[in-house]
Amino acid sequence: MKGYRIEHDSMGEILVPEDRLWGAQTQRSIGNFRIGVGIETMPTEIITAFGYLKKAAAIANHKLKPEKMTSEKCTVICSACDEVINGTLADHFPLVVWQTGSGTQSNMNTNEVIANRGNQISGKEKLLHPNDDINMSQSSNDTFPTAMHISAAIALRDCVIPAVDRLIETFLQLEADNRGIVKSGRTHLQDATPISFSQEISGWRSSLQRDREMLLLAMGPLCELALGGTAVGTGLNAPIGFDTAVAEVLAELTDMPFVTAQNKFHALTSKDELVFAHGALKALAADMMKIANDVRWLASGPRDGLGEITIPENEPGSSIMPGKVNPTQCEAVTMVAVQVMGNDVAVGMAASQGNFELNVFMPVCAYNFLQSARLLAESITSFNDNCAVGIRANREKMHHNLHNSLMLVTALNPYIGYENAAKTAKKAYKENISLKEACVSLGFLTAERFDEVFHPEEMI
């Protein structure tokens, strides 16, 4: 039949597009799982991780089983894997997330593509077999959780943490630029005692630094790999030392401290390392929600809001109200935060479904984890570049709001007591007069004494 070739697997023959490198099992999956096609395909990070994994497995097998994994086979497999890693073969990985819960079809998709591409490179049609060579000493049950850990650890290292670092640097610069500016603090969305603007920014910065620490803490368990456990954790059909050898090669290929998991029965069925790591992503999302909300509240206005800062005006904000500009970067961050929090539920639920020797919710777990990492990294970078770097203090509005705050009365507590200070604030609010006028009229302090003790800028 024109445009197709015949491939076969243990279930028989099937037609595969002649311009595609996948084989029979991939084609069956395409037909059987028409769920989220073209939208919710297996994340590219997983495919890249499989490229590293299969390359490392070939190298380890060549070391331990050279009679089966010959130098020729190993060299060709490594070349094909390099093309998987660099994205050259991206069009040959069409499978959706919503497939078998062990990720078997994606493992076989990888095996078939590497085998067929390797055969093209070698010029020998039957040099490599997807199962016997590319999947040698492996099972989908240990390769997919290994790919999950590789992709998750690399995503944190290469995407999320660098994005966090850039925003931390921006906040450090903003702290330095805004030293000496005192403004009204706020608790319960109500006026509170003064705070310096640099102190407020330092709270944002410190939150991100703590999130960074938690992300780094989570990376340690992610660097423990299931590979070598094969089908149920016993290591059946894998040579002794294969697990350690693969981890060593992966560490060298990725410059990550990958090691083999000490207990493969745990590694195949439990996904607690991903739950823990995604918890750190959720903590980052929660802090970004708070920071973005603070920024848009402080920038609200321009005339009828707080208006204590200005942020970059990036695009028109309304199709009907001319001149309106909205805090769009903040809104994007908060939407991402909501998505990450939802993903955390999915990751946790998926991880809870490890039955006996295998978890069969791994694709959805990987999909949500990597989406969270990707969205956070990209939204933080966008927020930094298009908003945070352009934050500017409105000194006049901050000064006005500070001196209009009734909570400055707290400075009078040591001199007139809490109850009298409360009476002063209530009188000032009710009669729309200053704290000084209220305090003096109530006879608590003279005007001269009030001026001696009342210094808002020194309350920070």
The residues annotated with a catalytic role in the active site are: 188, 318
Residues 6+ apart with CB under 8 A from 341: 282, 285, 286
Closest alpha carbon to 226 in 277, 261, 262: 261
Instruction: State the Cα–Cα distance between residues 309 and 442, nearest whole angstrom.
Output: 36
Burial annotation 168-200 (CB, 10 A radius, 16+ → b, else e) = bebbeebbeebeebbbbbbeeeebebbbbbbbb
Tokens matching residue 91: 């069009």
Q: Please tell me what DSSP assigns to residue 352.
A: T
Residue 353: what are its φ and ψ, rounded to 5°?
Answer: -100, 35
CA distance 136 to 351: 27
Are the C-beta atoms of 97 and 74 separated by less than 8 Å?
Answer: no
Cα 109 to Cα 44, 79, 290, 456, distances in angstroms? 13, 17, 42, 67
| Of 124, 5, 134, nearest in space to 61 by CA | 134
- Name residue, tokens 């909300």: 293
Cβ-contact 97, 363 below 8 angstroms: yes
Residue ranges with strand state E in 81-189: 182-187
Sort strands 358-359 and 354-355 into parallel, antiparallel or unpaired. Answer: antiparallel
Task: Give the DSSP H or E segment for 96.
Answer: none
Q: Which residues contact 395 (CB under 8 A, 6 or more apart)?
A: 181
- Which token pair is 428? 């000032």
Q: Please, which residues have CB within 8 angstroms of residue 105's CB and are 6 or more apart in sequence?
A: 25, 26, 28, 29, 33, 95, 99
Q: Which long-range contacts (CB under 8 A, 24 or more apart) does 332-336 make?
A: 332/379, 332/382, 332/383, 333/288, 333/289, 333/291, 333/292, 333/379, 333/380, 333/383, 334/288, 334/289, 334/292, 334/293, 336/285, 336/288, 336/375, 336/376, 336/379
Cα atoms in the 13 Å half-sphere on the side-chain side of 385? 7
Do the beta carbons of residue 80 and residue 118 sit within 8 Å?
Answer: yes
DSSP structural state of residue 41: B
